[in-house]
Each structure stands twice: as C-alpha cells, then as structure tokens.
C-alpha cells in the first residue's frame, strides 16, 4: 500500500485517515516523543543492522571531497557523521530536520563527539526548502521521506536545490521481496516493535505508527516513478536485506 491524499483534503497517518493540515503536527509529536530514545530504539528494532545500512548508503554515495551536501531528516546526526570524513576540510553538510527536538538531539551528539567543522544545522520543511536553486552537490534523506506529507513536493524541492549533475540519495524502508520473510517481518513490526517502544521509550503508539508508515510508503517501483516525474534521471534502486530497505539514487540533468 502507498500513502494517498484525497481531493477532500485527507491523507494517511499510518493506517488512519487525517486532514492533510494535521499530519505534519502529528508526525512532529511522534518524533518529539521518541527523540530521546531514538538511537537506542533503532538498535533494538533493527538488531543494530541500521548502522550497516547507513554505512553502506554513505560508502556507495559517490559523495566526494569538497561537496556541499544537504542531509534532510538528518536530526539523529548519523548520516552527517559518516559523511564528514568523505567531504574533507572544504566540504560541508547541512543537517536539516523539521523537528526541533530531533535536530537538537543530533547536534548535541555530534558536538559531544567533537564534530564541528563542516557542519551546519537548519530546521526546515522538506516541502519548502529555504535554499537557493542549484546550491548543493548532493541531497541525502535516510528514513525520513515516508514521514513527509507531500512527497512529490519534497522530491521536487530536492531537485530544485541540486546543482546540474548533482544526485539525490534516498534510504528508506521499502517492500520485502522474499515471500518467506514477509510474515516474520510483519510479526516483528506489529507485535514486537510496539512492545519494545512501550518498554523502552514508554510510547507504544508512536512505534505502532512508525510500523504502519512503512507499509503506507511507496514501494521501490512507485518511488522510482515519483522521482522520475519531478525530473530525476538515471534513477537506480538497490535493495538491502531482501528489500526491507532500499536505496534510490537519481540525478539532476
């Protein structure tokens, strides 16, 4: 299933139908609630595999020394920390997130690690980026696109701020492509995950929403088509862990 918006002005919030104007607020409440335990929960939910996915995402990004990168939904700081060694002294990563609590948590984590040079932080809405046209060599977004209300608008904004020849890189949960794995994955998502959220983060509902949001996100082929519709060319898909997550890469011509 994929996220839909109706002519009457509603959209999906997990498996609920809510007014479009309310989704951003509801998603914000989810991430404000989980910000303090976000990293611990990621390790528990994925058995630590999310760290391997993120390392592979950056290692295969093609991002080079001197590049200027916009990392959307980057509040945790994970992608920025991995990018910095690749960018060198003259490169820069702008860590951007719509949620202040997530952004502050990620900033503090990076500063605690002594990471300061080449970093900027910005609270932004991915659907209306406050950056000039053609201002970045690359845009990354890891596990954030599925929470954006209007994904088409966000993808168009990513295209706009990229320099010609620049690339967008999307790491996101996607559609499992192994039949034997689907029931196990569903059990983990809807039975185990909310219980872990209740025990560790004291927030069962937020983690139930996160599991539902994965199922409502466009699958690999649908996201590829959405990227091409806003102008991206040479769009490639790489499945990881049997399609539990996928990397989409596209270029601005």
CATH of the domain at 134: 3.40.50.150
Q: Give pLDDT tens digits along the chain (253 positions).
A: 444 555 558 888 777 787 887 878 777 776 666 666 666 777 777 888 999 999 999 999 999 999 999 999 998 899 999 999 999 999 999 999 999 988 988 899 899 999 989 999 999 999 999 999 999 999 999 999 998 999 999 999 999 999 999 999 999 999 999 999 999 999 998 998 888 888 877 788 888 888 888 899 999 999 999 999 999 999 999 999 999 999 999 999 9
Instruction: Please count the structural domains in the chain.
Output: 1
Is 196 within the bounds of a domain?
A: no
Is 3 within the bounds of a domain?
A: no
**N-to-C CA span, the chain:** 31
Segment 104-141, tens digit of pLDDT: 888 998 999 999 899 999 999 999 999 999 999 999 99
Is 103 within the bounds of a domain?
A: yes
Is 21 within the bounds of a domain?
A: yes
Distance CA 207, CA 189 (A): 9
Is 183 within the bounds of a domain?
A: no
DSSP H helices, 60-188, are 78-87, 100-112, 151-161, 182-187
Q: What are residue 139's phi and psi, to 5 degrees?
A: -125, 130
Is 142 within the bounds of a domain?
A: yes
Instruction: Count Cβ atoms below 10 Å from residue 229 Cβ, excluding itself.
Output: 11
Instruction: Quote the pLDDT of residue 79.
Output: 96
- Between β-strands 68-72 and 92-97, what pairing exists: parallel, antiparallel or unpaired? parallel
Is 201 within the bounds of a domain?
A: no
Is 174 within the bounds of a domain?
A: yes
Instruction: Quote the pLDDT of residue 1.
Output: 40
Segment 57-91, tens digit of pLDDT: 999 999 999 999 999 999 889 999 999 999 999 99
- Which range marks the domain in which residue 47 is found? 10-178+206-251
Query: ∠ CA 181-182-185 to the nearest 5 degrees?
Result: 85
Instruction: Quote the pLDDT of residue 163.
Output: 98
Which has the closest alpha carbon to 214: 175, 170, 171? Answer: 175
The model carries a pTM of 0.88
């Amino acid at each position: 299933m994929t996220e839909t918006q109706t002519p009457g002005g509603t959209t999906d919030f997990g498996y609920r139908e809510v007014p479009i104007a309310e989704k951003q607020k509801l998603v914000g409440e989810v991430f404000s609630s989980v910000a303090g335990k976000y990293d611990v929960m990621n390790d528990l939910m994925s058995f630590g595999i999310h760290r391997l996915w993120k390392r592979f995402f950056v290692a295969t990004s093609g991002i080079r020394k001197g590049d200027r990168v916009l990392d959307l939904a980057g509040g945790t700081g994970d992608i920025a920390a991995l990018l910095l060694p690749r960018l060198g002294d003259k490169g820069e990563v702008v860590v951007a997130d719509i949620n202040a609590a997530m952004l502050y948590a990620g900033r503090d984590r990076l500063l605690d690690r002594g990471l300061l040079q080449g970093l900027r932080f910005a609270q932004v809405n991915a659907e209306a980026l406050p950056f000039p046209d053609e201002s970045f060599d690359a845009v990354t977004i890891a596990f954030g696109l599925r929470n954006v209300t209007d994904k088409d608008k966000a993808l168009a904004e990513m295209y706009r701020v990229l320099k010609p020849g620049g690339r967008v890189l999307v790491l996101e949960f996607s559609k499992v492509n192994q039949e034997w794995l689907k029931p196990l994955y569903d059990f983990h998502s809807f039975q185990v995950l909310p219980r872990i959220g209740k025990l560790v983060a004291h927030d069962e509902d937020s983690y139930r929403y996160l599991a539902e949001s994965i199922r409502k996100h466009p699958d690999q082929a649908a996201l590829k088509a959405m990227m091409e519709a806003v102008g991206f060319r040479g769009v490639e898909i790489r499945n990881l862990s049997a399609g539990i997550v996928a990397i989409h890469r596209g270029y601005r011509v």
